[in-house]
């Protein structure tokens, strides 16, 4: 029973765009029903259910694993029970925009590994690609079925203070996190069935089947009933749970490198009945470790000779080799131009405004506005080397100014984005916390977007960093039926 007070009355979105309440003058009407239901709960009920959910995640082993010298430690990704809700209209933009982006990336990769028109036309500087650590010369001229290089793409989106979704990053190699999307939903169905009742929420449970279809479409076309497997680095990989999850959802064997071998440029797996052919592989191993004969010779995780089988078209790989030259920060800055170049369309989802410092105007603008901009080195990942102007000291500003002048091509700059927030249960209180969104685009012959995606939430007050390694958690993401 309730004493009549609404749980969300005291909640203050602190002038940020809120996924539950909307922004100034733009209330989030689509979330009205859920908001009221949460409001009618008691705090103790909410806390109790959250604890149940957390314990279940642990018991079910929905964990990432940390190996220390003597212990195997299973950690859960913290789960917040207050869902993030997306209206049909917003979802339409995200869905179309993500597909458009993946289509352009695939055309770009095909072009880069064949004629290289976009480079010859100087729309994208050639050295950005040929000098890229993830560019694979071995892929030149290799035929990829349906031109689908990026079969699974995670498009990281943020929402600004006006409620506009913007692309922060593309993940075109082996994006992870989709298992949490599905498991978070299961968790909500178990712990909050009453909150979900009669709200049309688009299902996320068919991800595995959609992925299986797409990967099967990468098999040699002559094979009628292709054998698909999921290739994992093994139980020591921190994302092993996700590999297990996906293999089960797809109904395919979860293999490690040592389970496979190559004979006559064909891939086989070792079974109790001898060798069995493999036609398409959803691989969760990076390019560098895939084939010690072609890439990193030290790799024990891969399969010697597998690239040869791939290049001859005897086995499909998802994602294709060499997609990493399309998703780094330098290429990201050119993505709106890449979309226009191949599709003759404006981007449906904008980039965060990005100033390319290798270009004269971009550099001049950056130097003139250092105090207001975020400056990022293009070759780094994981947040290294980033200078946040509004929070930087005088010395840091001068230091980055010198670096920019010395090597402008190594930098891009962006305005600081005020990420949207979502009500989040923190130590028995409901407080605003910043969120992002990673929709997953699955592509074989055509593209499909999982309705929802991974909402990551920065659990520390004021933090904009949603990564699990830095205090991030996740939320269930509800895309409402139109």
> Shortest gap between Cβ of 256 and other proteins (angstroms)?
7
190 binds other proteins (CB under 8 A): no
DSSP string, 150-206: -SEEEEEEEE-TTS-EEEEEEE-S----HHHHHHHHHHHHHH-HHHHTT--B---TT
**Nearer of residues 258 and 467 to other proteins, judged by Cβ:** 258
Helix or strand (DSSP H, E) at 244: helix 240-250
**Nearer of residues 53 and 157 to other proteins, judged by Cβ:** 53
Q: Which pair of tokens denotes residue 362?
A: 């971009």
372 binds other proteins (CB under 8 A): no
Q: Which stretch binds other proteins (CB under 8 A): 53-61, 81-89, 119-127, 439-447?
A: 53-61
Binding letters toward other proteins, positions 241-260, x by CB under 8 A:
---x--xx----xxxx-xx-
- Cα 439 vs. chain centroid, distance in angstroms? 7
> Shortest gap between Cβ of 244 and other proteins (angstroms)?
4
**Nearer of residues 300 and 388 to other proteins, judged by Cβ:** 300
381 binds other proteins (CB under 8 A): no
Do β-strands 280-283 and 316-318 pair in parallel, antiparallel, or remain unpaired? Answer: parallel
Q: Which of residues 235, 300, 405, 429 is near other proteins by CB under 8 A?
A: 235
Helix or strand (DSSP H, E) at 270: strand 266-271
461 binds other proteins (CB under 8 A): no
Q: Which of residues 74, 115, 407, 481 is near other proteins by CB under 8 A?
A: 74
By the 10 Å C-beta count (0-12 exposed, 13-18 middle, 19+ buried), 343 is classed as middle
- In the chain, % helix, strand, coil (3-state, to 5) comes to 35, 25, 40
Q: Which stretch binds other proteins (CB under 8 A): 4-12, 272-280, 419-427, 462-470?
A: 272-280
- Cα 16 vs. chain centroid, distance in angstroms? 24
44 binds other proteins (CB under 8 A): no
**Nearer of residues 271 and 381 to other proteins, judged by Cβ:** 271
**Nearer of residues 252 and 457 to other proteins, judged by Cβ:** 252
DSSP string, 79-131: EEEEEEEE-HHHHHHHHHHHHHHHHHHHHHHHHHTTT-HHHHTTSS-HHHHHT
Q: Which stretch binds other proteins (CB under 8 A): 265-273, 298-306, 392-400, 435-443?
A: 265-273
224 binds other proteins (CB under 8 A): no
**Nearer of residues 70 and 391 to other proteins, judged by Cβ:** 70
**Nearer of residues 111 and 183 to other proteins, judged by Cβ:** 183
> Cα separation of 471 and 478, whole Å?
23
Whether the bond between 319 and the residue before it is cis, its omega within 30 degrees of 0, is: yes
Residues that bind other proteins (CB under 8 A): 59-61, 70, 72, 74, 235, 240, 244, 247-248, 253-256, 258-259, 269-274, 276
């Amino acid at each position: 029973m309730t004493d009549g007070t609404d749980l969300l009355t005291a909640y203050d979105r602190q002038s940020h765009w809120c996924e539950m309440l909307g922004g100034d003058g733009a209330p989030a009407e689509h979330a009205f029903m859920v908001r009221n239901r949460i409001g009618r709960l008691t705090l103790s009920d909410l806390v109790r259910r959250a604890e149940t959910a957390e314990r279940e995640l642990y018991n079910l082993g929905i964990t990432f694993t940390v190996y220390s010298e003597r212990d195997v430690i299973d950690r859960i990704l913290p789960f917040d029970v207050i869902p993030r809700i997306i209206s049909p209209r917003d979802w339409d933009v995200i869905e179309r925009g993500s597909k458009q982006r993946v289509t352009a990336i695939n055309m770009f990769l095909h072009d880069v590994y064949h004629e290289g028109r976009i480079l010859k036309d100087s729309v994208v500087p050639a050295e950005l690609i040929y000098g890229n650590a993830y560019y694979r010369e071995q892929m030149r001229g290799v035929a990829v079925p349906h031109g689908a290089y990026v079969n699974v793409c995670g498009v990281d989106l943020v929402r600004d203070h006006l409620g506009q979704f913007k692309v922060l990053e593309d993940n075109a190699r082996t994006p992870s996190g989709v298992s949490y999307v599905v498991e978070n939903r299961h968790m909500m169905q178990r712990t909050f069935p009453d909150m979900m009742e009669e709200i049309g929420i688009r299902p996320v449970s068919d991800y595995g089947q959609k992925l299986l279809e797409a990967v099967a479409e990468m098999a040699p076309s002559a094979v009628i009933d292709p054998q698909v497997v999921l290739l994992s680095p093994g139980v020591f990989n921190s994302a092993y749970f996700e590999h297990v999850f996906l293999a089960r959802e797809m109904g395919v064997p979860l293999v490690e490198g040592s389970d496979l071998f190559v004979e006559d440029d064909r891939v086989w797996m070792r079974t109790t009945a001898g060798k069995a052919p493999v036609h398409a592989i959803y691989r969760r191993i990076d390019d560098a470790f895939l084939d010690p004969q072609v890439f990193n010779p030290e790799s024990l995780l891969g399969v010697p000779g597998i690239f040869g089988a791939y290049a001859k078209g005897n086995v499909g790989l998802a994602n294709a080799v060499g997609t990493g030259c399309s998703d780094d920060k330098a290429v990201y800055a050119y993505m709106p131009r890449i979309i226009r170049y191949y599709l003759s369309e404006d981007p449906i989802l904008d980039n965060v405004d990005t100033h390319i410092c290798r270009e004269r105007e971009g550099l001049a603008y950056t130097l003139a506005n250092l105090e207001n901009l975020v400056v990022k080195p293009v070759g780094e990942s994981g947040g290294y080397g980033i200078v946040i102007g509004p929070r930087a000291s005088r010395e840091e500003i001068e230091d980055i100014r010198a670096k920019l002048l010395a090597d402008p091509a190594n930098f891009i700059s962006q305005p600081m984005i005020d990420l949207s927030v979502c009500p989040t249960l923190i130590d028995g209180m409901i407080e605003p916390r910043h969120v992002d969104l990673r929709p997953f685009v699955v592509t074989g012959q055509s593209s499909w977007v999982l309705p929802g995606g991974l909402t990551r939430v920065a659990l520390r007050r004021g933090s904009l960093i949603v990564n699990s390694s830095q205090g991030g958690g996740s939320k269930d993401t509800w895309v409402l039926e139109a």
